[in-house]
Structure 1
Amino acid sequence: MQHRIVVLGAGYTGAIAAGRLAKRLHREDVTITLVNAEPDFVERVRMHQLATGQDLKPRPFSEMFAGTGVHLRLAKVTGVDVDRKTVTVTDANSIAPESGAGFIAPESGAGELPYDTLIYALGSGWNAQGVPGTAEHAYEIAGRPGALRLRERLARLGGGQSVVVVGGGLTGVEAATELAEARPDLDVALAAAGGLGDWLSPKGRDHLRKVLGKLGITVYEHAQVTAVEADHVTTADGKIIPAAVTVWTAGFAVHPIAEATALEVTGTGQIVVDGTMRSVSHPDVYAIGDAAMVMGPGNKPLRMSCASGTPTAWQAADAIAARLTGGKLPNAPIRYFNQCISLGRKEGLIQYVTADDRAVKAVLTGRVAAVYKELVCKGAAWGVANPMLGLPTRRRRVTGRRATTGSAVKEPA
């Protein structure tokens, strides 16, 4: 019987892991089912571009996984039972099967998927941080539905009206600059809980301030937003900042499903894993990307980002393949090299960092940095469709067969 691998979520990490496994293992030995609510890949790192009216290149999974043997189940995950080793799903609207990728057309509204190995890659969404009025009045760009909702609202916004981006991290900075460049007729402001770019080097902070000033963005530093209303936000010190539109980018929260399972999770709901991305409580479950609590260099948790998630997908896929085939477990360290920040379409900032993500003096700025960031974004999307990144694609045979109650595979020494 075939070993059943189910991957939950087809963002950067889930899609990469599924494709990498498909090229490592024989189809006769395994089935790989990728569960996702949408039939095409979403470039999450470009949601600020989508929100400001730019059209993104369609990336249908039917093309990306053509000929790989990966099956896409168009469905929303509603539960995971790690004791019974099943996933509960609610199917999306019926979609006719297409050539290439093995699309599974829904037969009913809900169902269960049994698995032998589960890869949990449901990622994260926006985090309202419990701030009153955020859910009712703020817009978010953590995913495509939110970005499209903001896009529609901005299209109806007249010149001279105010937009406040709450959150001074990478997402907030990219959203504010993209918006100010695309809509110079608007009054764009950025409210940061700390200092502007306080994680950057002095040279990086100087460039960031220069670009935001050139774009006419008003910056409120050390401005912790404590309430959101329909036409303004309020900070902890009582300041009222006008906002016809509030864009909330103050952090991410992981999908809540893992916390409702018997998996060992952190206080933030992330699944605790070992160095191979395997759950420390349930060895048939792997977690990758934002959903996993992964320790990096300096024994520091990896930050939620595409830069962190992609290597965790490689690590998990290679570890699963090794355990199924009796190969050598991967031992590649996960480290950082730089932080790539787009500042509109014409400007960028590349902040070089230490292995544990601390800024060093070196930066790349200006138009060259913008091109660099664009290449990184394109490379990330290319990596989803080409998950082996030049590695040998020889498929290996599974050394044991799945028993009716679980897996019978050889654990490498």
Structure 2
Amino acid sequence: MNTTRTVAIVGAGYAGVLAANRLQASLTETERLSMSIVMVNPRAVFIDRIRLHQLAAGTTDAATIPLDHVLHPDVTVIVGEVTRILPERNGIVIDAAKGPIELPYDVLIYAVGSGAPPSIPGGASSHSVGTHDEALMAGAAVRRLVPGNRIVVVGGGATGVEMASELAEENPQMDIVLVSAGLLLSSLPQRGRKYVKSTLAFLNVQVVENERVVHVDMNFVELEGGRRIRSDLTIWTGSFTVPALARASALAVDAAGRLLVTETLQHQAYPNIIGAGDSVSVHGDAGKHLRMGCAVAAPMGGHAAVTALAYLRCQPPTALSIGFFIRCLSLGRRNGFVQHVGKDDVPKRVQLSGRAGAWVKERICVGVISGIQKERTSPGSYWTAPAPGARTFLRGARRLNQSRVVAGRKKAP
């Protein structure tokens, strides 16, 4: 009789891949014989999303990594799109190349990520860097422009600033305008915002603050007060949206469609459904300070693995503990900005900028990938600051390693 238990992971982004690696590498010898970890993703590549603005600007020609370069070799990959979760039957429906598949699971890790499609009138006339395909199309559109054309970047957050900076540095012959609905990088201290704005000015990026774009046309963007800004190409970097999979599967979601999970990352009604990354909303103190991005998605994926192991081993789950240390921005390839923050993401006094800031930012980007890869052999090694109020670093890793030893002793033949 087949007694194999299956952990299905939906999504091969920062959260999903780290979850798969940590989970597979943490299994005891006995567990490896009786457990199958299956990852479902629309393509057999990992998208390095923090490089997508570079792909659109033309400062890199690739933002993908073959999955087998980052994923544990014992994880099974199904290329396809999950169209439905059937929580009452513990199954998922996959639209694969050879037709629909229904895959049963014992544990499901929901890590479908996010995108950034514009949802305003005329939004289809703009481009985005929310997904790899969209970034490729934006890059192709940039290459079709001629000197003197204007690119309008909509969104005054980190993605918008990085996009505008990268475009301006790589395409100095273009006219770049960055439009922000509020203050540019409003969560940064005034000194930090002043530096970023001066760098954008040096790159000849025109910044328009406190102006909301309400309509996009092929030749202009329209602001809330009726003013129009000419645009030969509009790139949308506004707030992220998430796939509708959880809502379509009648699972509890927030107003934005993110899967609602407890502090242990489990769905309240279905504790064998565990969420991680941009596509989930964590209830309680453990999640109130978190923001979208790989700085949260990757460690959430790691904790999803810890929770999955606890569930499979009939052990009590532990609460998520993620804090912050820095925020970093690339301002083109030669300039950057780093803001020291507390565990609660509140900015501190220390800042780093210029070439040193660019160096730190690049090391962080490289370190995210190498950290995920290291989890294939050293589960729990991905470094994460603890949540506000926590006393030590890497508490999740220690709990993971301790539980692995205990489980090994219990199950040793």
Instruction: Find the residue that maps to 1:159 and give its secondary structure.
Output: coil
- The residue that corresponds to 2:309 in the other structure is 321
Contact 1:297–1:356, Cα closer than 8 Å, also in 2: no
Pairs aligned (count): 382
- The residue that corresponds to 1:356 in the other structure is 344
2:16 to 14, 17, 24: 14
Percent identical residues:
35
2:101 to 111, 120, 125: 111
Is 1:131 the counterpart of 2:133? The answer is no
Instruction: Find the residue that maps to 2:84 and give its secondary structure.
Output: strand
Distance 1:150 1:296, change over 3 A: farther
CA distance in 2, matches of 1:111, 1:399: 36
State the Cα distance separating 1:12 from its structure 2 match: 0.4
CA distance in 1, matches of 2:156, 2:51: 17
- The residue that corresponds to 1:34 in the other structure is 39
CA distance in 1, matches of 2:63, 2:51: 11
Contact 2:336–2:358, Cα closer than 8 Å, also in 1: yes
TM, length-normalised to structure 2: 0.88
Instruction: Find the residue that maps to 2:115 and give its secondary structure.
Output: strand
- Once the two structures are superposed, residues 123-143 of structure 1 have per-residue CA deviations (whole angstroms, 9 ceiling, x without a partner) of 111142x310012x0000011
- The residue that corresponds to 1:279 in the other structure is 267
- Once the two structures are superposed, residues 146-205 of structure 1 have per-residue CA deviations (whole angstroms, 9 ceiling, x without a partner) of 000011111111010000000000111110001101100100000000012221112211
> What pairs up with 1:85-96 in 2 under 5 angstroms?
85-92=90-97
- The residue that corresponds to 1:4 in the other structure is 6
1:232 to 191, 203, 220: 220
CA distance in 2, matches of 1:111, 1:301: 38
State the Cα distance separating 1:65 from its structure 2 match: 2.9
State the Cα distance separating 1:296 from its structure 2 match: 7.0
CA distance in 2, matches of 1:132, 1:399: 60
CA distance in 2, matches of 1:36, 1:384: 17
- Once the two structures are superposed, residues 1-44 of structure 1 have per-residue CA deviations (whole angstroms, 9 ceiling, x without a partner) of 11110000000000110111001113212100000111111100
Higher helix share: 2
- Once the two structures are superposed, residues 196-236 of structure 1 have per-residue CA deviations (whole angstroms, 9 ceiling, x without a partner) of 22211122111101110100000111110010000100101
- The residue that corresponds to 1:98 in the other structure is none
Is 1:65 the counterpart of 2:71? The answer is yes
Is 1:312 the counterpart of 2:314? The answer is no
> What pairs up with 1:360-399 in 2 under 5 angstroms?
360-387=348-375, 388=379, 390=381, 396=407
User: Which amino acid in structure 2 is aligned with residue 40 of structure 1?
Assistant: V
CA distance in 2, matches of 1:169, 1:65: 31
User: Which amino acid in structure 2 is aligned with residue 63 of structure 1?
Assistant: H
User: Which amino acid in structure 1 is aligned with residue 363 of structure 2?
Assistant: L
Contact 2:150–2:174, Cα closer than 8 Å, also in 1: yes
- The residue that corresponds to 2:208 in the other structure is 220
CA distance in 2, matches of 1:298, 1:311: 13
Aligned-residue RMSD, C-alpha: 2.0
Instruction: Find the residue that maps to 2:45 and give its secondary structure.
Output: coil
State the Cα distance separating 1:328 from its structure 2 match: 6.1
Distance 1:398 1:18, change over 3 A: farther
User: Which amino acid in structure 2 is aligned with residue 154 of structure 1?
Assistant: V
- Once the two structures are superposed, residues 86-133 of structure 1 have per-residue CA deviations (whole angstroms, 9 ceiling, x without a partner) of 1111114xxxxxxxxxxxxxxx222111111000000111142x3100
CA distance in 2, matches of 1:277, 1:66: 23
State the Cα distance separating 1:356 from its structure 2 match: 2.2
Distance 1:17 1:200, change over 3 A: same
- The residue that corresponds to 1:121 in the other structure is 111
- The residue that corresponds to 2:389 in the other structure is none
- The residue that corresponds to 2:187 in the other structure is 199
Is 1:263 the counterpart of 2:251? The answer is yes
> What pairs up with 1:290-305 in 2 under 5 angstroms?
290-295=278-283, 300-305=288-293
CA distance in 2, matches of 1:45, 1:57: 8
State the Cα distance separating 1:56 from its structure 2 match: 2.8
CA distance in 1, matches of 2:91, 2:286: 36
CA distance in 2, matches of 1:318, 1:33: 17
TM, length-normalised to structure 1: 0.88
Deviation larger for 49-58 or 322-331: 322-331
Contact 2:8–2:105, Cα closer than 8 Å, also in 1: yes
- The residue that corresponds to 2:387 in the other structure is none
Contact 2:117–2:240, Cα closer than 8 Å, also in 1: yes
State the Cα distance separating 1:274 from its structure 2 match: 1.3
Contact 1:325–1:399, Cα closer than 8 Å, also in 2: no
Give ranges in structure 1 of 5+ residues lacking alignment. Answer: 93-107, 401-413
- The residue that corresponds to 1:44 in the other structure is 49
Contact 2:23–2:309, Cα closer than 8 Å, also in 1: yes
- Once the two structures are superposed, residues 275-305 of structure 1 have per-residue CA deviations (whole angstroms, 9 ceiling, x without a partner) of 2111112111001001110257586252111
